[in-house]
């Protein structure tokens, strides 16, 4: 009984302390309570909130804002459109600094950050810190948008656009910093439902052991690659659209790797690997993706893999309407000892001004299994066809619902029904109506779980 009473007493005390902490958490208003955003932060303690009124904030105390390790929430009153941090392009300026081991409990929400001027991230710096950044617009900064060094920041519902002289987001995880060994976090930053576009470098650049998780985001119209992993780096990309980037969709280089799931990689342009480029030592796992309408001015319109020690696995993907000037309009796989495996995927209607419109590849480590490939084994040519592994694949039109308008889901009668995205009955009937045809589906369609996932993202191809 005494043990029970002691436990009950301790529980009541803890509960009361928690309630008191909630009831007495401070809320400071800027500028009514404190004149600047920095002074508002300085005036509060862990668990408190600083709310910033509408306005344009510049100058000392309103730029280079340092959270000083506090686990607080700093938020605008009415969102980023009306609450702007303007750094006025002052040298060595940026909007916010996180450099004192802030955790995800430190929250920045609802600001536009513009006209920063700093080579290490003109908008926001996360230096061995991991804040949560929500509903912010980071734009028109010099030196890039966000610079994360050894960070597990959560970046949610943000726009990172039109930043100059750098990347939209640079993620760095060096072994040492200032001569001291850095203990790496378990994972890198997470980007969720973000728009990373029109930046003058890469959209997202992971360098030196860095990693990123990118979910439900759009990465488009950047001058560099949409997503670039270099030097032992990696990314997990899910439900994303990577489009119209001027130096290609995604790239892995120097022992880096990517897993891309249920995503669309479309209308990107590069010298090699318009959609995806994989270096000799890197690796790729792509599942349930649409890789379409990409251009390579040399080889590998959809995918370019020049691999020595790496490996590439492609499954349940649709690779179509890509083009290359040299060879491998759909896929270019030049391998020496590594593996390129493509299973249950569609490679169809790609073009090349040179040779091998659909697929260029050679060697027993090229494996095409249970795929739809236009031209079949003969498309490789007699010299190369003898060396690859080609099993259970067909050369039949996959019957896209409306490829002319970018809808690469499959009609019910498709011979590739278990491979690509499958259209619903309503979707096929709508396409038929749009084309002045009679409805041709009378019964409901059962699709695989993979098909259901892809449909959601394939629909976006119409835009």
The residue behind tokens 């948008």 is: 145
Asked if residue 276 lies in contact with residue 291, where contact means CB atoms within 8 angstroms, the answer is: yes
φ, ψ of residue 452 to 5 degrees: the values are: -60, -40
pLDDT at 146: 98
User: What average pLDDT does the segment 84-106 reach?
Assistant: 97
Q: By mean pLDDT, which of 332-346, 359-373, 442-456 is the weakest?
A: 442-456
Confidence of residue 445 (pLDDT cuts 50, 70, 90): very low
Cis preceding-peptide flag for 302 (omega within 30 of 0): no
CB 222 within 8 A of CB 246: yes
Return the ∠ at Cα 83 (arms to 79 and 85), rounded to 5°: 130
CB 200 within 8 A of CB 164: yes
Residue found by looking up tokens 């970046």 in the block: 155
267: exposed, middle or buried (Cβ count in 10 Å: 0-12, 13-18, 19+): buried
Q: How far apart are CA 406 and CA 154, in angstroms?
A: 33
Tell me the pLDDT tens digit for each residue of 169-216. Answer: 999 988 766 667 766 665 899 999 999 999 999 999 999 999 999 999
| Total-model pTM | 0.86
Q: How confident is the model at residue 11 (pLDDT cuts 50, 70, 90)?
A: low
User: Element (H or E) spanning 277, and its range?
Assistant: strand 276-278
Burial profile 222-258: b = 16 or more Cβ within 10 angstroms, e = fewer: bebbbbbbbbbbbbbbbbbbbbbbebbbbbbbebbbb
Mean pLDDT, residues 108-137 taken together: 97
- The Cα 417–Cα 261 span in angstroms is 19
The alpha carbon dihedral of 240, 243, 247, 248 has a sign of: positive
Residue with tokens 């950050």: 113
| Rounded distance between C-alpha atoms, residue 429 and residue 426, angstroms | 5
Neighbours of 408 (CB within 10 A): 29
Give residue-wise pLDDT tens across range 350-393.
999 998 999 998 767 889 999 999 999 888 877 777 778 899 99
Domains parsed from the chain with CATH numbers: 27-302 (2.160.20.10)
Q: Which residues, listed in sequence order, are joined to residue 259 by a DSSP beta bridge?
A: 236, 285
- CA-nearest of 120, 111, 124, 131 to 69 is 131
Rounded-to-5 percentages of helix, strand, coil across the chain: 15, 40, 50
pLDDT digits (tens, 9 = 90+) for 22-33: 446 799 999 999
What does the pLDDT read at residue 205?
Answer: 97
Q: What is the largest CA-CA distance in the chain?
A: 87
Question: Average model confidence (pLDDT) for the chain?
Answer: 86
Cα separation of 294 and 270, whole Å?
A: 8
Cβ proximity of 105 and 67 under 8 Å: no
């Amino acid at each position: 009984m005494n043990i029970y009473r002691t436990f009950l007493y301790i529980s009541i005390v803890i509960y009361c302390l928690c309630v008191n902490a909630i009831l007495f958490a401070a809320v400071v208003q800027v500028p009514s309570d404190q004149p600047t955003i920095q002074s508002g932060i300085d005036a509060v303690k862990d668990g408190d909130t600083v709310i910033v009124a509408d306005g344009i904030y510049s100058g000392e105390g309103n730029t280079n804002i340092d959270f000083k390790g506090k686990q607080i929430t700093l938020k605008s009153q009415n969102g980023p459109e009306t609450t702007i941090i303007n750094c006025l392009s002052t040298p060595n300026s940026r909007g916010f600094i996180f450099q004192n081991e802030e955790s995800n409990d430190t929250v920045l929400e609802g600001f536009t950050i513009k006209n920063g001027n700093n080579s290490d991230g003109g908008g926001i710096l996360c230096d061995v810190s991991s804040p949560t950044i929500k509903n912010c617009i980071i734009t028109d900064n010099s030196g890039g948008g966000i610079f994360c060094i050894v960070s597990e920041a959560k970046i949610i519902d943000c726009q990172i656009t039109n930043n100059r002289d750098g990347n939209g987001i640079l993620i760095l995880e060096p072994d040492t910093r200032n001569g001291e060994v850095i203990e790496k976090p378990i994972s890198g930053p997470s980007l969720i439902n973000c728009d990373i576009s029109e930046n003058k470098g890469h959209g997202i650049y992971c360098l030196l052991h860095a990693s990123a998780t990118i979910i439900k985001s759009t990465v488009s119209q950047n001058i560099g690659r949409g997503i670039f992993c270099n030097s032992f780096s990696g990314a997990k990309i899910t439900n994303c659209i990577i489009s119209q980037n001027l130096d290609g969709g995604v790239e892995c280089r120097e022992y880096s790797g990517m897993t891309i799931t249920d995503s669309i990689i479309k209308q990107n342009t590069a010298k090699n690997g318009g959609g995806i480029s994989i270096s000799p030592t890197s690796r790729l796992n792509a599942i349930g993706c649409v890789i379409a309408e990409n251009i390579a001015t040399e080889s590998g319109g959809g995918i370019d893999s020049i691999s020595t020690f790496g490996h590439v696995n492609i499954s349940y993907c649709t690779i179509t309407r890509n083009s290359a000037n040299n060879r491998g309009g759909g896929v270019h796989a030049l391998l020496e000892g590594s593996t390129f495996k493509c299973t249950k995927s569609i490679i169809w209607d790609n073009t090349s001004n040179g040779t091998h419109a659909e697929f260029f590849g050679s060697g027993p480590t090229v494996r095409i299994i249970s795929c739809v490939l236009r031209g079949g084994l003969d498309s490789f040519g007699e010299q190369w066809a003898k060396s690859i592994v080609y099993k259970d694949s067909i050369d039949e039109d996959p019957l896209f619902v409306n490829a002319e308008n970018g809808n690469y889901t499959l009609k019910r009668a498709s011979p590739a029904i278990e491979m690509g995205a499958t259209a619903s009955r309503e979707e096929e009937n709508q396409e038929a109506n749009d084309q002045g045809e009679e409805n041709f589906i009378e019964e409901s369609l059962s699709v695989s779980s993979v098909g259901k996932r892809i449909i959601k993202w394939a629909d976006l191809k119409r835009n």
